[in-house]
Structure 1
Amino acid sequence: MTDPATVTQALARFREGGSPWLSLPFFRDGGAERVAAAVDARAGAGATVLPAPGDVFRALALTPLNAVRAVILGQDPYPTPGDAHGLAFSYVGKRRLPASLKVILAEMAEETGSAVPTSGDLTPWARQGVLLLNAALTVEAGQSGAHMKLGWDALTDGAVAAVSETRPAVAFLLWGAPARRRAALVDRSRHLVLEAGHPSPLNRRADFRGSRPFGQANAWLAEKGLEPIDWRLA
């Protein structure tokens, strides 16, 4: 089967898979088609849209709603071709790791006593039930935030609310102001909400390092009688 050439085609393929995420209003009320069409219009106008269409819904495909155990929210994909592949913070580029991801992985390595990974591919987390969802699933090359107002936020908000409503016990790791605003969508009587500053080195408050989100999430999952997440990548 050939890879989809447009986000509209990628959406159609995602629908064919019968994902539990299709129950979200975003997919039921036409919002998904409207956003996909808007993204494709930008590509038709000559913009280089990232990631590749086949990767746009990767976070939802790898981590179905009925498998979510933790949630990490990002902003939008890396704006350099070849870097992003549909998972928040995850990186498959050929250069050095992005600064924020380096901070995340250093914190993880310190908590788990493992080596700092040389790879930035977070697919192993997604396959264990960690939803790595961006607030916008697409971006344009060289223009961070270019698609933040196209309507993707309805998907992010709907996904967070659905996880809160339907899953029994999930750890929400919310880093930075935009992610932390979505804490209001989470039922704290059932779920763990861990808030911290953004891992970017440009965060002047530097309130991510030392927050120990990975160990706290695993300790809480264990208290609930659930299997902890293996955060190590190496």
Structure 2
Amino acid sequence: MIPETWADLPFFRDDWPAIAARLDCQDWLPGPANVFAALALTPPQAARVVILGQDPYPTPGHANGLAFSVTPETALPRSLKNIYAEMRDDLGAAPANGDLSHWARQGVLLLNTSLSVLPGQAGVHAKWGWDKLARQAVVRAQAERPLAFILWGAHAQKALVGLPRAVDLVIESAHPSPLSARRGFFGSRPFSRVNDWLTAQGQPRIDWSLSENAQKG
């Protein structure tokens, strides 16, 4: 269950056993097969961009272990709709569904600060100590190369406070939620800004819209 490339993080020695024991007594999401999907798809040596969410979607069948992402057959959540709307304005296209695993495979670390939730109970595991994993994973990835941080909303900004360095790119804006997207998320153009920075770093650009399956307009 623990991705081998991240297994040396102190979290897995010091915190995960207690969390795992508590989860054994509950019917939780996204379940054992997906709980560490973000780490499994983006090993530290491949991480180039960090996007931080809060916790998995609490509707069974929706979450797939990646921040903001849903299973391919799930209708787009409201925040993800706004993310795709901004992407269309920024790049002219967006993915055909809400599965963001193609971002993760290109080096976008899509972590939540809490990696488990109960059905219908958003945020219920937020104080279990999961947040240590997010900070440790970012520090581990930073040891490999400069990172681009896309920090949407106060929660993400506070969760990683003090970690971005002068060599890193930091893009902060309002959260893409319908309640806040018009307060600075729309028009922030994070996708092209990250790609311009990656190009300047001599790194490949992220194919955000998954061009071969993108929806235009």
Pick closer, same or farther for the CA change 1:201–1:187 going to 2, 3 Å.
Answer: closer
Task: Flag structure 1 segments of 5+ consecutive residues without an equivalent.
Answer: 1-12
Does the residue aligned with 1:89 lie in a helix, a strand or coil? coil
Q: Which amino acid aligns with 2:60?
A: P
Verify: 1:51 aligned to 2:35, yes or no.
Answer: no
Verify: 1:159 aligned to 2:127, yes or no.
Answer: no
Verify: 1:217 aligned to 2:201, yes or no.
Answer: no
* Aligned residue runs from structure 1 range 96-135, under 5 A: 96-114=75-93, 116-135=94-113
Match in the other structure for 2:16:
32
Report deviation, 1:22.
1.5
Q: Is the 8 A contact 2:95 2:208 kept in 1?
A: no
Pick closer, same or farther for the CA change 1:32–1:183 going to 2, 3 Å.
Answer: closer
- Equivalent-residue separation in structure 1 for 2:171 and 2:151 (angstroms): 6
- Equivalent-residue separation in structure 2 for 1:131 and 1:231 (angstroms): 13
Verify: 1:91 aligned to 2:70, yes or no.
Answer: yes
- Equivalent-residue separation in structure 2 for 1:33 and 1:183 (angstroms): 24
Q: Which amino acid aligns with 1:96?
A: A
Equivalent in 192, 203, 208 of residue 169 of structure 2: 192
Please report the RMSD computed on the Cα atoms of aligned residues, expressed in angstroms. Answer: 1.6
Structure number with higher relative contact order (C-alpha < 8 Å, ≥ 6 residues apart): 2
Pick closer, same or farther for the CA change 1:192–1:217 going to 2, 3 Å.
Answer: same
- Equivalent-residue separation in structure 2 for 1:187 and 1:139 (angstroms): 28
Report deviation, 1:94.
4.1
Report deviation, 1:157.
1.6
Q: Is the 8 A contact 1:125 1:230 kept in 2?
A: yes
Could you say which structure has the higher helix fraction? 1
Task: Flag structure 2 segments of 5+ consecutive residues without an equivalent.
Answer: none
- Equivalent-residue separation in structure 1 for 2:23 and 2:183 (angstroms): 34
> 1:191-226 CA distances to partner (integer Å, 9 max, x unpaired)?
111111110001276221111111111111111111
Match in the other structure for 2:121:
143
Report deviation, 1:95.
4.7
Does the residue aligned with 1:131 lie in a helix, a strand or coil? strand
TM-score of the superposition, structure 1-length normalised?
0.85
Report deviation, 1:171.
0.5
Report deviation, 1:182.
3.5
Verify: 1:172 aligned to 2:158, yes or no.
Answer: no
Q: Which amino acid aligns with 2:154?
A: A
Q: Is the 8 A contact 1:91 1:120 kept in 2?
A: yes
Tell me which moved more, 203-212 or 130-139.
203-212
